[in-house]
Amino acid sequence: MMNMWRNLPEMDLMRSEKMTFCQLIIPVESAHRAVTYLGELGLLQFRDLNDDKSPFQRTFVNQVKRCAEMSRKLRFFKDQIQKAGLLSSGVPTLQPDVDLEALEVQLAEHEHELIEMNANSEKLQQTYNELLEFKMVLQKAGGFLVSGKSYETAEGRELDENVYPSDYPDSASLLEQATQSGPAITSGLRFISGIIPKSKVLLFERMLFRATRGNLLFNQEPADDLILDPISSEMVEKIVFVVFFSGEQARTKILKICEAFGANCYPVPEDLTKQSQITQEVLSRLSELETTLDVGIRHRNAALHSIGFHLALWMNMVKREKAVFDTLNMLNFDVTKKCLVGEGWCPVFAKPQIQEALQRATFDSNSQVGVIFHFMEAVESPPTYFRTNAFTNAYQEIVDAYGVAKYQEANPAVYTVITFPFLFAVMFGDWGHGICLLIGALVLIAREGKLSSQKLGSFMEMLFGGRYVLLLMSLFSIYCGLIYNEFFSVPYHIFGASAYRCRDTECSEAHTIGLIKYRDAYPFGVDPSWRGSRSELPFLNSLKMKMSILFGIAQMNLGIMLSYFNSIFFNNSLDIRYQFVPQMIFLNSLFGYLSLLIIVKWCTGSQADLYHVMIYMFLSPFDDLGENELFWGQRPLQILLLLAALVAVPWMLFPKPFILRKRHAERFQGRTYGILRSTEMDSDSEPGSARHHEEEFNFSEVFVHQMIHSIEFVLGSVSNTASYLRLWALSLAHSELSTVFYEKVLLLAWGYDNFIIRLVGLAVFAFATAFILLMMETLSAFLHALRLHWVEFQNKFYGGDGYKFKPFSFAAIADDED
Amino acid sequence: MYGFEAMTFNIHGGYLEAIVRGHRSGLLTAADYNNLCQCETLDDIKMHLSATEYGPYLQNEPSPLHTTTIVEKCTLKLVDEYKHMLCQATEPLSTFLEYITYGHMIDNVVLIVTGTLHERDVQELLEKCHPLGMFDSIATLAVAQNMRELYRLVLVDTPLAPYFSECITSEDLDDMNIEIMRNTLYKAYLEDFYQFCQKLGGATAEIMSDLLAFEADRRAVNITINSIGTELTRDDRKKLYSSFGLLYPYGHEELAVCEDIDQVRGVMEKYPPYQPIFGKLSYGESQMLDKAFYEEEVKRLCLSFEQQFHYGVFFAYMRLREQEIRNLMWISECVAQNQKSRVHDSVVFIF
**Contact flag B143-A56 (C-beta cutoff 8 Å):** no
**Contact flag B143-A210 (C-beta cutoff 8 Å):** no
pLDDT exceeds cutoff 50 at A185: no
pLDDT of residue A51: 78
Contacts of A256 in chain B (CB under 8 A): 140, 142-143
Between A454 and A440, where is the model more confident? A440
* Residues with Cβ within 8 Å of residue A352, at least 6 apart in sequence: none
pLDDT exceeds cutoff 60 at A202: yes
pLDDT exceeds cutoff 50 at A172: no
**Contact flag A260-B63 (C-beta cutoff 8 Å):** no
Rg of chain B, C-alpha, whole Å: 21
**Contact flag B47-A56 (C-beta cutoff 8 Å):** yes
Instruction: Give the torsion through C-alpha atoms of A444, A450, A453, A458, to 10 deg.
Output: -30
Query: How would you classify residue A87: left for phi > 0, otherwise alpha for psi between -120 and 50, otherwise beta?
Result: beta
Poorest-pLDDT segment among A104-108, A244-248, A299-303: A244-248
Rounded Cα–Cα distance for residues A584 and A586 (Å): 6
The string over A33-43, giving b where at least 16 C-beta atoms fall within 10 Å of a residue's C-beta and e elsewhere, is: bbbbbbbebeb
pLDDT exceeds cutoff 90 at A497: no
pLDDT of residue A88: 56
Between A268 and A514, where is the model more confident? A268
- The overall average pLDDT reported for chain A is 82
Rounded Cα–Cα distance for residues A195 and A224 (Å): 12
| Residue B203, in any domain of the structure | no
Q: Which of A500-514, A620-634, A685-699 has the highest mean pLDDT?
A: A620-634
Show the CA angle centred on residue A153, arms to residues A147 and A159, nearest 5°: 130
Q: How far is A213 from chain B (nearest CA, A)?
A: 10
Sign of CA dihedral B321, B324, B329, B335: negative
Rounded Cα–Cα distance for residues A86 and A304 (Å): 8
Between A20 and B150, where is the model more confident? A20
Helical spans, DSSP H, in A329-389? 351-364
* Residues with Cβ within 8 Å of residue A742, at least 6 apart in sequence: A488, A489, A490, A765
pLDDT exceeds cutoff 50 at A337: yes
pLDDT exceeds cutoff 50 at A685: no
Rounded Cα–Cα distance for residues A783 and A424 (Å): 9
pLDDT of residue B338: 85
**Contact flag B136-A68 (C-beta cutoff 8 Å):** no
B18 in A contact zone (CB under 8 Å): no
pLDDT of residue A166: 39
Closest by CA to A428, choosing from A762, A742, A784, A763, is: A784
Q: Which long-range contacts (C-beta less than 8 Å, at least 24 apart) are formed by B51-58?
A: B51/A55, B52/B26, B52/B28, B53/B26, B53/B77
| Domain parsing of chain A, residue ranges | 19-99+302-375, 390-502+519-670+699-796
Contacts of A329 in chain B (CB under 8 A): none
pLDDT of residue A512: 66
Tell which of B125, B127, B138, B140 to mutate to test the A interface (max A CBs under 10 Å): B140
Query: What average pLDDT score do residues A774-800 get?
Result: 93
| Residue B221, in any domain of the structure | no
Rounded Cα–Cα distance for residues A361 and A33 (Å): 6
**Chain B residue closest in CA terms to A58:** B44
Poorest-pLDDT segment among A333-347, A420-434, B271-285: B271-285
Query: How would you classify residue A376: left for phi > 0, otherwise alpha for psi between -120 and 50, otherwise beta?
Result: beta
Closest by CA to A340, choosing from A325, A319, A355, is: A325
Does residue A37 contact residue A360 with C-beta atoms inside 8 Å?
yes
| Residue B84, in any domain of the structure | no
pLDDT of residue B340: 80
| Residue B286, in any domain of the structure | no
pLDDT of residue A763: 93
The size of chain B, in residues, is 351
Would you place residue A553 in the very low, low, confident or very high pLDDT band (cuts 50, 70, 90)? very high
**Contact flag A257-B62 (C-beta cutoff 8 Å):** no
Angstrom distances, CA of residue A199 to CA of A195, A527, A748, B126, B153: 12, 74, 58, 20, 19
Does residue B189 contact residue B243 with C-beta atoms inside 8 Å?
no
Q: Which DSSP state fits A490? A: B
Tally of helices (H runs) and strands (E runs) in chain A: 30, 13
User: Which among B35, B59, B137 is the nearest to A207, CB-wise?
Assistant: B137
Angstrom distances, CA of residue A84 to CA of A77, A88, A581, A733, B175: 10, 11, 72, 56, 49
Angstrom distances, CA of residue A643 to CA of A158, A629, A649: 117, 20, 10
* Residues with Cβ within 8 Å of residue A753, at least 6 apart in sequence: none
Task: Using 70 as the pLDDT threshold, list the residues of chain B that sit under it.
Answer: 1-3, 168-170, 172, 282-286, 351
Question: Residue B162, exposed/middle/buried by CB under 10 A (0-12, 13-18, 19+)?
Answer: exposed
Rg of chain A, C-alpha, whole Å: 42
Does residue A485 contact residue A492 with C-beta atoms inside 8 Å?
yes
Rounded Cα–Cα distance for residues B12 and B14 (Å): 6
Between A103 and A426, where is the model more confident? A426
pLDDT exceeds cutoff 70 at A169: no
pLDDT of residue A303: 84
**Contact flag B137-A75 (C-beta cutoff 8 Å):** no
* pTM of the full structure: 0.74
Q: How far is A58 from chain B (nearest CA, A)?
A: 12
Between B264 and A420, where is the model more confident? A420
Closest by CA to A30, choosing from A287, A267, A294, A357, is: A357
| Residue B27, in any domain of the structure | no
pLDDT exceeds cutoff 70 at A6: no
Q: How many domains does chain B have?
A: 1
**Contact flag A65-B154 (C-beta cutoff 8 Å):** no
Which domain range does residue B149 map to?
89-185
Bridge partners, A804 (sequence order):
A384
Does residue A592 contact residue A556 with C-beta atoms inside 8 Å?
no
Does residue A193 contact residue A240 with C-beta atoms inside 8 Å?
yes
Rounded Cα–Cα distance for residues B150 and A211 (Å): 10
